[in-house]
Structure 1
Amino acid sequence: MIGLISATAAGALARDRLATAWPGRTRVYEGPVADAVRRAFGECEQVVCCLATGAVVRILAPLLSDKGTDPGVVCVDEGARFAVSLVGGHAGGANALAREVADVLGASPVVTTATDAAGIPGLDTLGMPYEGEVAGVSRALLDGEPVGLVAEVPWPLPALPFTVGEPGASDAALVRVSDRLVPPADGDAVVPQVVLRPPSLVAGVGGSRGVPVDEVEGLVRDALRDAGLSVRSLAALATVDAKATEPGITGAAARLGVPLLTYCADELAVVTVPNPSDAPLAAVGTPSVAEAAALIGGGELLVPKRKSVRADGSPAMATCAVVRRAARGRLAVVGLGPGARDLLTPRAKDELRRASVLVGLDQYVDQIRDLLRPGTRVLESGLGAEEERARTAVAEARAGHAVALIGSGDAGVYAMASPALAEASDDIDVVGVPGVTAALAAGALLGAPLGHDHVSISLSDLHTPWEVIERRVRAAAESDLVVTFYNPRSRGRDWQLPKALGILAEHRTPTTPVGVVRNASRPDGSTRVTTLAGLDPEAIRSVDMMTVVTVGNTATREIAGRMVTPRGYRWQEEPK
């Protein structure tokens, strides 16, 4: 919940705009301002004060306890010009909240956290538990000093300016990605160190009816400790569905702060395990519970089945096994839009900054290079290497990295999503980020040519035989669809566009509007509205691969220099 406080009528306007924008997320605090701030600070996860920062600082000073638990607080000035992240920038989410507030109010976010200002992800914002000297390691990163990265467990981290490999004498600090207990360093070579705990471990558990929660929890903790593993890397407990409501097992999951995964006995029975047993087969229908439940999602068995040990010597009531599941790499297929920076979506920008590896065509990489975080590994290549780029991106994701594969327009439209997803299997996570397509960008410049049914057709016969392309053009012509031609003409392909226009002319009048847009949305772009008859050979010769050509249907009209296709095929009256 976000607490909202204001003192004046101007502040109340901003407060109410936030409350309207975020229904269900906010609570407005009334009454004396100091009392309202104190109550919101104690009751809410985050607070927005439409007040002067000095006043809020004086009120909050006695209340501040620990940056890991204090709410995030954002201050908004009376003119709603600035949203200032005051306290709890990372742990309290104030930095992100300041940006959200700014988006709603049209204000400027003010974030002074050093890592955010330098474009470096905070080590405490990576979504996993951490231990160690965050401030010391962050300082080394900010100072540009060599920081070693030891990824004992590969994990899809965002880009960071690390020296990858084993720690060396020149490292000023060290980051470990590890699910193992890390012994303290000795001697003069001690450097600031942060250990990131990826959620890589799954503990399979079994238990007799009535098993005590202490017995299950203690067994899991002992199994991890004895194997040199950190409980903070535990991602889940897993068991057979017959034990889904067993209080000792559900209670252990709650105490450990992880979800409980359950599987039916038939699923577990087909999992190959090293230590099957007749007892669980008779009880719940599978020869293994702990090992099978841990292994069913794949991974490496680190702790074979072990039983709890009871102080009174009575038979064990709980079993446990631990598996390390391989990291799932992440592939984001990102559409960059038609080229203008303001048509690059916020989601695309977020994915570019989340990735540690960027794969793309060299000219597209140049468009967004300034948006990448320091340390991003860029794998770029030229025209004609699309299949290679797709394979590279998938391979990098399979290696456990966070990868962004970029394409122009929408990555799923004549771009990189198709070859990448043809390579990818279900062993990686794939995220599609839509972009503004060339057809849409050109359509916006032309007017509203796509107001009714329409189709996009590529005239490039590099991958599609011309006979197939021609059949599609004829079908579009006969069905009276608005047509946008991609890849209409190149130096080596100069006859396809006239041929396609000729096919359309068999079914359209010479006055049918045609739009020709080159470099849509870019500073050197050009837009022309003409007709089928007016698109003379000289105009056709000016068309290239950076151009899209849109041909209207029989209802499309030119009105005030713009192409307009009605939503219905009937005009109420002839446009004047």
Structure 2
Amino acid sequence: MLLFQDFHPLVAIATTPTAAQTLQPLCHSAGGTLWLPESLHTSEQNNDPTVSFYQGSLKSHIASLWQNHRAFIFGLATGAVVRLIAPLLQDKSSDPAVIVVDETGQFVISLCSGHQGKADQLTRMIALQLGATPILTGGSTGLNLPAVDMVGIPFGWQRGEGDWTGVSAAVAKGERVEVIQEVGSTLWQNHLPSGHPFVFDADEETVDVNSANSQSINARIWISFTQRRFSPDSDLPKVQWHPRVLWVGIGCERGTSRELIETAIIQTCQRHHLALSAIAGIATIDIKASEVGLVEFCQAHDFPLRTFPAKVLRSVTVPTPSTVVDQAVGSPSVAEAAALVCSERFSACSERFSASDTNVPTTNLLVKKQIVRADDQPGAVTVAIAVAEQEYTGRIGQLLLVGMGPGQLDQITPAAKTALSQADAVIGYSLYIDLISPILHPGQIIESLPITQERQRAQRAIELAQWGLTVAVVSSGDCGIYGMAGLVLEELKAQGWDGKTPRVQVFPGITALQAAASRVGAPLMHDFCAISLSNLLTPWDVIEKRLNAAAQADFVIALYNPRSRTRIEQLTIAHRILLQYRSPQTPVAIVRSAYREDEKITLSTLDKLLDIPIDMLTTVLIGNQSTRLHGDWMITPRGYYRF
């Protein structure tokens, strides 16, 4: 359900038993409500909380649900859905996502609000849940490009004015689109496909960025905190994104109204050509934390309110200090100091503040304090605005710890596939990223780090999640068995994680020992254990104790990380220990790259183990005293035939 939270409340609608059977499991996993006509009511559905029934006209029922739901999944014919929702559609910026699933669940169609309503994303997720084919018809999809009106969504950017349709059309036609990015994350630029139409650096063809007559540029995107006014007479389509990088410092008299605070901020921004939608939040002194007008203003605009004690604010150098203010609140500055502290300390990836570090650069201050009063409003407001290097996303980050199984796409669980598809960023070892690449989609941040940089992977994932992104961390096999899950949780704990933010969800996968076992039969039918022979993180004497104990206890043993190019003798020692307690004829299975194209399987006996090529991609299964080989199969009896 956590994966689908961006689409809640979500509703599914079916009018036939077949469509109901297709959508009902989906509503269980997605946390939606399945609406059926009363004529399909059966006693079996009485105890299913996800199923509800409607009476009368379906058209009227959909109209009653339309305004209160963010996504609609229809198990109806596409034409019927079009006729049902046509009178309800208003604008793609506000309409809910509309998805159509055929009765048997073979195809999932993104019908309406593909970008801003995230119907395209939901379509991919549902298709992965059902094992269906997603149908996406957006112009940018076929070019493997992120949609222009979705580029900034992961980073909390706000869409500004402009001809969004015109710029999107230019991208879809492959025309050159100039991007002038003054602030905000450039991560989206780093993951564009080769041959993309975006031009990031002005050259001899684009000398005058203000000219609409350039022959080589067909559209323009501004990414800035500045509020631009585009000429209606220009033939060049332009749009503007506003990253939330502006922190507004506020000082006000007791009892100042919300209206005056709002007026003061609007006037200040307009006077300095700053976009209101680029505001990250409001900052002030702690004694104003409960100021009614200020609190109401922040709640109305969904702005975070950051407050600081006077001792922190007085340590900041500001251009216009006031002795009067100092005498009143204990700091010579409130608005300027608070704005500067926020712009420097509250980066988008951390809510923590260090009061001991007071080296705040005054160059961050865009607008010195402005005092605003109104004849018809009580109180007075002081406004100052500073700019942060990193934008505030306004989102709660998530870490999705994903086990991808042995490597084949059909061996990954639907939930894990959905997590990978839903993530803003995917981090993993380069080999794993390559294996899951068909699941990934345009606009995702994909970062691969070498196999020796597991801790760096964990730290990078946490950094992005603390910033507000949804980050999938990929492990082969099961992420909680010799995978990244434990390392990420350890790193979070070391950083003082409260156990809640960022959110964490673990998606299990088929383990290496399970995958290897499935290729040779049923060697794990009785008690078994797994032991890694890598002593990079575990002392070798501890590994030896485990080998001795497992061998004596007659466990079936799975050896992970049996041998590398530089670590050879460990397998030899393990072999010697095992032969002390096991018959030389004990069956063994050596499985390399299970379920992958270069898979290699060898069945042999313990005495011949060292004669077989073994490396880090190999899992070794060693039977117990009851394990037998039968043809090409390895079987460990459970004991049923004794009774």
With normalisation by structure 2, the TM-score equals 0.69
> Among the aligned pairs, what percent are the same residue?
30
Contact 2:10 2:72 in 1 (8 A): yes
Counterpart of 1:74 in structure 2 is 99
Kindly report which structure 2 residues correspond to 1:93-172, keeping only aligned pairs within 5 A, or say none.
Answer: 93-102=118-127, 107-126=132-151, 127=153, 128-131=157-160, 132-155=162-185, 156-157=187-188, 159-160=191-192, 161=196, 162-166=198-202, 168-169=205-206, 170-172=216-218
1 CA distance for matches of 2:421 and 2:218?
A: 29
How many angstroms apart in 2 are the aligned matches of 1:263 and 1:475?
Answer: 54
- 1:347 to 1:200, Cα distance in 2 relative to 1, 3 A: farther
Q: Secondary structure at the match of 1:216?
A: helix
Q: Tell me what 2:264 maps to.
A: 219
CA deviation string 1:413-470 (max 9, x = no partner): 77899999999998xx9999876553453355464649767444234x7x679xx425
Q: Within 5 Å, give how 1:355-394 maps onto structure 2.
A: 361=430, 366-367=434-435, 386=452
Q: Work out the CA distance in 1 between the residues paired with 2:577 and 2:322.
A: 73
Counterpart position of 1:192: 237
- Runs of 5+ unmatched residues, structure 1: none
Superposed counterparts of 1:529-568, under 5 Å: 534-537=605-608, 540-551=611-622, 557=627, 561-562=633-634
More displaced 10-residue stretch of structure 1: 320-329 or 217-226: 320-329
**Bigger Cα displacement from structure 2, 288-297 vs 368-377:** 368-377
SS in 1 for 2:149: helix
Distance 2:627 2:311 in 1: 62
1:245 aligns with 2:290: yes
* Whole-Å separation in 2 of the counterparts to 1:575 and 1:3: 53
Q: Which amino acid aligns with 1:73?
A: V
Q: Is contact 2:417–2:439 with CA below 8 Å preserved after alignment?
A: no
Instruction: Please say if residues 3 and 26 of structure 1, whose CA atoms lie closer than 8 Å, have aligned partners that are also in contact.
Output: yes
Change (3 A) 1:324 1:439: farther
Please tell me the residue identity of whatever aligns with 1:143.
K
Equivalent residue for 2:220, pick from 166, 171, 174: 174
Secondary structure at the counterpart of residue 320 of structure 1: strand
CA distance in 2, matches of 1:34, 1:379: 46
Is the contact made by 1:10 and 1:79 (CA closer than 8 Å) also made in structure 2?
A: yes
Q: Flag the 1:455–1:478 CA change in 2: closer, same or farther, 3 A.
A: same
Shift of 1:219: 2.0
- Give 1:521's aligned residue: 595
Task: Please tell me the residue identity of whatever aligns with 1:164.
Answer: F
Q: Tell me the C-alpha RMSD between the 2 structures.
A: 4.9
Matches of 2:386 and 2:76, distance apart in 1: 51
What SS does the aligned partner of 2:108 have?
Answer: strand
Cα displacement (A) at 1:185: 6.4
- Answer yes or no: is 1:457 the counterpart of 2:546: no
Deviations 1:396-417 (A, max 9, x none): x99x999999775568877899
* TM-score (norm: length of structure 1): 0.76
Residue number in structure 2 paired with 1:322: 385
Q: Does 2:571 match 1:497?
A: yes
CA contact 1:486–1:549 (8 Å) conserved in 2: yes
Alignment deviations for residues 216-249 of structure 1 (CA, whole Å, 9 cap, x no partner): 1122223333333211111222334443332211
Which residue in the other structure is 2:354 paired with? Answer: none
- Count of aligned positions: 552
| 1:23-34 pair list within 5 angstroms | 23=31, 29-34=54-59
Distance 1:117 1:214 in 2: 48
Contact 1:148 1:171 (8 Å CA) reproduced: yes
In 2 relative to 1, CA 24–308 (structure 1 residues): closer, same or farther, beyond 3 Å?
A: farther
